[in-house]
Amino acid sequence: MDQSRKAELLQKDRKYVWHPFTQMKDYANQDHVLIEKAEGIFLYDADGNRYYDTVSSWWVNTHGHAHPRIKQAIIEQLEQMDHVMFSGLTHAQGIELAEKLVQITPEGLTKVFYSDNGSTAVEVALKMSFQYWQQVGKTQKTRFAYLDNGYHGDTLGAVSVGGVDLYHSLYKPLLFSAYRVAAPQLFQWPDASAAGEDACVAAALADVKQLFETSAHELAGIIVEPMIQAAGGMNIYPAAYLKGLRELCTEHAVHLIADEVAVGFGRTGRWFACNHADVSPDIICLSKALTAGVLPLAATLCTEEIYQAFYDDYDRFKTFFHGHSFTGNPVGAAVALASLQIFEEEQVMRHVSDASAHLSVQMERFREFEHVANIRALGMVAAFDLVADRETKQGFDEQDRAGYQIYLEGLEEGLILRPLGDTIYFWLPLATTTSDIDEITRRTMRVLQRKGM
């Protein structure tokens, strides 16, 4: 791109655009990276510089950018039908995708309700659970529980069940009140041994048990990010927690709502993160990688039992009065179907198994850094924390903005990193090869060296 066009665009960006999750003042004297092209696992800026998309463009990208089969699916679908409403009308793409989703998600989920982003998938889940209990006569069950450090999106229902104070506490006056329970946070647990891990899980489950014993009569559901609390700092936790949570939910008749918006579709090394614990939730929320990270689409799946509580004569007013303009968008659905075909034809899950094993090994190399702690990995996700003191795990002063400094230096190394505070993580496209992983870790090590970590 010629320099005058680039300057003009960046000047207009400053003048007109408000970017998400961004302190715009950070960009008073620094430009956003102007991206012109995305291909494979790379992004290219307006000067032709190439960057590894190590965060999968906010945890969405799956098969790399510009996959020919995905592009073809969009073109073919647009030639046939762009968008139609999904109420009173239906279409092959929405129907066939629903069938596939029921086949691949954990057993027992039989009905698919579409929406268009992760937050709406969560809103749907909360309203569905709430209304279910109203319609089966358990009208006291109106409340929800959520985990400390959990994140489920930015709309107000999702924020009401959000446990990351930095993002959520300000909005409290706007929110419905919900119960907060402890999360299994291994890195805050004093004992790092296997027995310590068990004790950490047991303590978190004991907190749920205590809540359920006193309050299950008023609880509709509990929402959880299976295996990884992502926005809360990539807290990877043991599958035993999910297993225990499922048991408690069944015992106390509380819906288990699995928010797999971020972790679904292979990112954790299994099709769905719930598969690690071999559990089926009552409701599952999907988005992001549903369309291989290319178009906005979401789905909330529920059990037949939940669905049947809404199925009645119209004049009994049990309809689920919820819907979005772009519900079941055919282009999004066609892309999702194409993505699932790629999974099969390119044996993506087999590749993920090899690549994620390699990623875990490579992450060990960060141990040599004095200011790196809590190295962890699951599937194509890996993270570590930057700390001032590795022994005490004392963090850096917030003013230092250590993570942000790494982000800036990463750009110089051709890496798009997007630290969560001082947690540096990789959320790799499933298409990332083992040699890409070597290069990404090598470059990240150079960044750390240069920043004196």
Which residues here bind ligand PLP, judged by CB under 6 A? Answer: 59, 117-119, 122, 151-153, 225, 230-231, 259, 261-262, 287
Report, in Å, the least distance between residue 329 CB and ligand PLP.
14
Buried b (16+ CB within 10 A) or exposed e, 361-386: ebbeebeebebbbbbbbbbbbbbbbb
User: What's the first-to-final CA gap in the chain, in angstroms?
Assistant: 36
Instruction: For residue 144, give the H/E element and its range.
Output: strand 143-147
Q: Which of 382, 380, 390 is nearest to 364 (CA)?
A: 382
Nearer to ligand PLP, 135 or 229 (CB): 229
Report, in Å, the least distance between residue 121 CB and ligand PLP.
7
If you write DSSP's letter for every residue of 300-317 in order, what string do you get? EEEEHHHHHTT-S-GGG-
CB atoms within 10 A of CB 206: 14
Please give the single-letter amino acid code of residue 305.
E
Q: Which residue has the tokens 């990270």?
A: 293
Nearer to ligand PLP, 152 or 358 (CB): 152
Report, in Å, the least distance between residue 59 CB and ligand PLP.
6
**Exposed, middle or buried by CB within 10 Å (0-12, 13-18, 19+), for 195?**
exposed
Nearer to ligand PLP, 106 or 409 (CB): 106
Q: Which two tokens stand for residue 405?
A: 């400094």
Report, in Å, the least distance between residue 284 CB and ligand PLP.
11
Report, in Å, the least distance between residue 117 CB and ligand PLP.
4
Q: Which of 192, 162, 155, 196 is nearest to 177 (CA)?
A: 162
How far is CA 287 from its chain centroid?
8
Nearer to ligand PLP, 158 or 309 (CB): 158
Nearer to ligand PLP, 151 or 326 (CB): 151
Nearer to ligand PLP, 286 or 306 (CB): 286
Residue 33, strand partner residues? none
Report, in Å, the least distance between residue 164 CB and ligand PLP.
11
Report, in Å, the least distance between residue 98 CB and ligand PLP.
20
Report, in Å, the least distance between residue 6 CB and ligand PLP.
28
On whether the CB atoms of residues 403 and 419 are closer than 8 A, the answer is yes
Nearer to ligand PLP, 259 or 413 (CB): 259
Nearer to ligand PLP, 115 or 135 (CB): 115
How far is CA 30 from its chain centroid?
29
Q: What is the DSSP letter of 148?
A: T
- How far is the C-alpha of 12 from the C-alpha of 34, rounded, in Å? 12
Q: Which residue is nearest to ligand PLP (CB)?
A: 118
